């Protein structure tokens, strides 16, 4: 758990992003707190995750990294920067991706009678 009570929308967003990160990675409470503080204190912070590490970058410089194991096999990695979280879906070797949060929104409602 992140101990700080959010005082602003930015705090809420940062906190939400940290908790969203735990949907993809197993992260200890101490490390989660560290990520939250890092995002709070570094305006150009970037958090990157790959198969087994979470890395904290500031202005493209690696500041710290620690092992963290993925909880899902549907992604290769992800990045948090600013107010966005970007997921890289898993690529099988030789190309092709699968997964991604929006791979289930087909809309077969092709009655085209709404051109009034």
Residues 36 and 4: beta-carbon distance below 8 Å: yes
- Cα angle 91, 68, 17 (rounded to 5 degrees) comes to 80
Does the protein bind other proteins through residue 40 (CB under 8 A)? no
Does the protein bind other proteins through residue 70 (CB under 8 A)? no
Residues 64 and 54: beta-carbon distance below 8 Å: no
Of 27-35, 37-45, 56-64, which segment contacts other proteins by CB under 8 A? 56-64
Does the protein bind other proteins through residue 110 (CB under 8 A)? yes
Does the protein bind other proteins through residue 76 (CB under 8 A)? yes
Minimum separation from the CB atom of position 41 to other proteins (A):
18
What count of residues does the chain have? 116
């Amino acid at each position: 758990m992140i101990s700080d009570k959010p005082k602003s929308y930015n705090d809420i967003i940062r906190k939400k992003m940290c908790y969203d990160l735990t949907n993809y990675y197993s992260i200890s409470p101490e490390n989660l707190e560290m990520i939250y503080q890092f995002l709070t204190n570094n305006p150009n912070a970037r958090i990157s995750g790959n198969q087994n590490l979470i890395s904290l970058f500031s202005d493209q410089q690696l500041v710290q990294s620690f092992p963290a194991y993925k909880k899902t096999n549907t992604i290769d990695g992800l990045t948090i920067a600013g107010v966005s979280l970007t997921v890289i879906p898993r690529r099988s070797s030789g190309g092709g991706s699968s997964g991604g949060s929006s791979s289930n929104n087909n809309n077969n409602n092709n009655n085209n009678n709404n051109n009034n």
